[in-house]
Structure 1
């Protein structure tokens, strides 16, 4: 996969863009670099990269606008890069459709690892391995139950809705507010700690059934991070 994957870096800091370029090339990726948000969506439409590293603070057009434009026609994996950690919750809340978030300053090796991970998740979905995930976690909406490789697991209605939201988009990070909106249909006011407690209970039930599938993203929220080895 690495030999053919084409990574687009949209970054206006010349030295940083060059650094990312060199590390990604060393990891056997093909890399293109844009230093402005203007025209980025047109470039993506014409060149169909495998993944995008997108800085938020860009000249001419900001990264948020670029992300929205790209999501109108493409599901290409997008990794948002930001220098302000406090922005992340807001970004997730906007449901821009980004696949991961990287905070500056960062290690270039970490960026390469994140790119590999997001490409792997994308490859699994596109190749149909996502059906293996759905098959391993069968949802029974009538009973608010799931089956993990055929093993019955009873969930509360809130736990079931949480899992349903996560399983619909494997690998995507969801903020606590997004999970609250998906889990409480009466729109009651619920604290982040309540969501954390439900996730903790849900995670314990899945692990007990042999599926360590939910991971937390510090300062952001949660995602379904399917481990094929653990699920086998």
Structure 2
């Protein structure tokens, strides 16, 4: 899973939520790794079954050719091919229950990973909300130093000219609103990397939610499907084998 950047500043106000995020991240990493390991086993089992079926089919075609080009009697080559067909078919058949059992294991691990992802997402959301609010407070504290004197000068000019300064304030508001529009996540990310050592809010900001967390949430049973899984074994197996589409969280 992709790692989040920036260690928190010492004694920074968001330390409890940072620690909670770290705790839930570790929990998700463990659940995600267990899921990936189980999926790898399932993939290998399915690949072995596919190879066995392909081998059986290929030997079957060869058997047809041997019988066709010969005199119609079972020759040694045909008998060898029959043995190959039987062995490959038996292997594919014996792999079926193993695949089903592993698919059910993967399904259970997928549920656990989605639960861990949901917990981590909430911890991430709470920290992001808190630190964004803190960043706003930091900005508002520096704002008077940046604009107070020029703004007062401008209002004074309007007063001397006998004009209403509300018009000036409206234009300033419109200008600020225009600056706020658009996509600014890249700018925010650059600010996090450059100023985290001086801003508690930026130091603690968790960044974007990792891709693996979203994937675990998307490819998982819905709450309703989880309920059905507990009481209907057939539905659980269909879900595990990909015959039912997972609703996600």
**Band the TM-score falls in, shorter-chain normalisation:** under 0.3
Structure with the higher fraction of residues in strand conformation: 1
Instruction: Return the TM-score normalized by structure 1.
Output: 0.21
For the pair shown, which has the larger CA radius of gyration, 1 or 2? Answer: 2
Give the number of the structure whose residues are more often helix, by fraction.
2
Q: Which has the higher contact order (CA 8 A, sep 6+)?
A: 2
